[in-house]
Amino acid sequence: MARFRINILGCGSATPSLRHLPSCQVVDFRDNLMMIDCGEGAQLSMRKMKLKFSRLNHIFISHLHGDHVLGLPGLLSTMSLHGKTGTVTIHTFREGIELLKPLVDFLCHEPSYELVWHEISPSGGTVLETPSLTVAAFPLYHRVPAVGFLMRETEKPRHIKGDMVEFHQVPVSRMAAIKAGADFVKPDGTVIPNAMLTSDADPCVSYAYCSDTTYNPKIAAAVRGVDLLYHEATYIDADAHKAHERGHATASEAARTALEAGARQLLLGHYSKSYEDESRHLAEARAIFPNTLAANEGMTIDLL
């Protein structure tokens, strides 16, 4: 069982190439699949990576450029053909709902599952909240309204020290409070500090997705302390003028954001088709932020 795995389905930019597909990722959180962006080829890539349509319940759209959404109608149609059940929620802007819903309704007019459209704001905010995971959007700085997504585990309970709990005769009815950090007060009024009864909880892991944006220090502030940062690196420094004209970032700017954010690891992606490989992207980023990887189709990264 995957506890928190990032699956790279596409990490190219606007034009598909023989090396890269348009933007698409699937996050596997405790066997629940969530897609971020849905470029062309998304459904085929899911099959290649053996990701089950039946487990995909949420799709987050960062912005409304074609290389991030054109795979959506085909994917939703195929999921229905495969008898997908339950609910699929599309998280996008109001404009996205207005544009995409009629097309999806026409091509997939009787889906086998319940299709829900959830409006998100370009200014950000909480998008999804479960007992174990929170997904928040934050603004990016592109030519059209765009957001990044921050996925963060919710705080985990502390670990019970079985021998100490038994020694102090802590009743079962108090265990939930003890795991949450409460002290234990004995019938005679003696206070047993929580630190004597528990050990630290497992760390909460986080992942941030930042595609299609120019450099802006506000991004680092939005993802402060993230474990893994995926950041677009469409261009290298020699083509910085193209990046800035087109609302994109260079690999070194992605690294600068990771450094300012205090990220643990950086993953580059959204490469322009004009490069034969990503060796220069990687070299320029690592000169600033050494713990950098270059995304590629089929790559998986486990955060836990």
Length of the chain: 304
Q: If we measure between CA atoms, which residue out of 207, 226, 291 comes closest to residue 4?
A: 207
Pairing of strands 206-210, 24-29: unpaired
Q: If we measure between CA atoms, which residue out of 183, 173, 175 comes closest to residue 159?
A: 175
CA angle 244, 146, 47 (to 5 degrees): 105
Kindly tell me the burial class for residue 123, based on how many C-beta atoms sit within 10 Å of its own C-beta (0-12, 13-18, 19 or more).
exposed
Adjacent-strand bridge partners of 133: 153
Residue with tokens 């991030």: 68
Q: Phi/psi class of residue 194: alpha, beta or left (left: φ > 0; alpha: ψ in -120 to 50)?
A: alpha
| Structural Rg of the chain based on CA atoms | 22
257 CB-near residues (< 8 Å, 6+ apart):
210, 215, 219, 220, 229, 231, 249
Residue with tokens 């994109």: 248
Q: Which two tokens stand for residue 237?
A: 């420094």
Adjacent-strand bridge partners of 59: 35, 90
Half-sphere exposure of 43 (CA within 13 A, CB side): 16
Q: Give me the active site residues, please.
A: 67
Q: If we measure between CA atoms, which residue out of 299, 303, 284, 290 comes closest to residue 233?
A: 284
**3-state SS assignment for residue 93:** coil
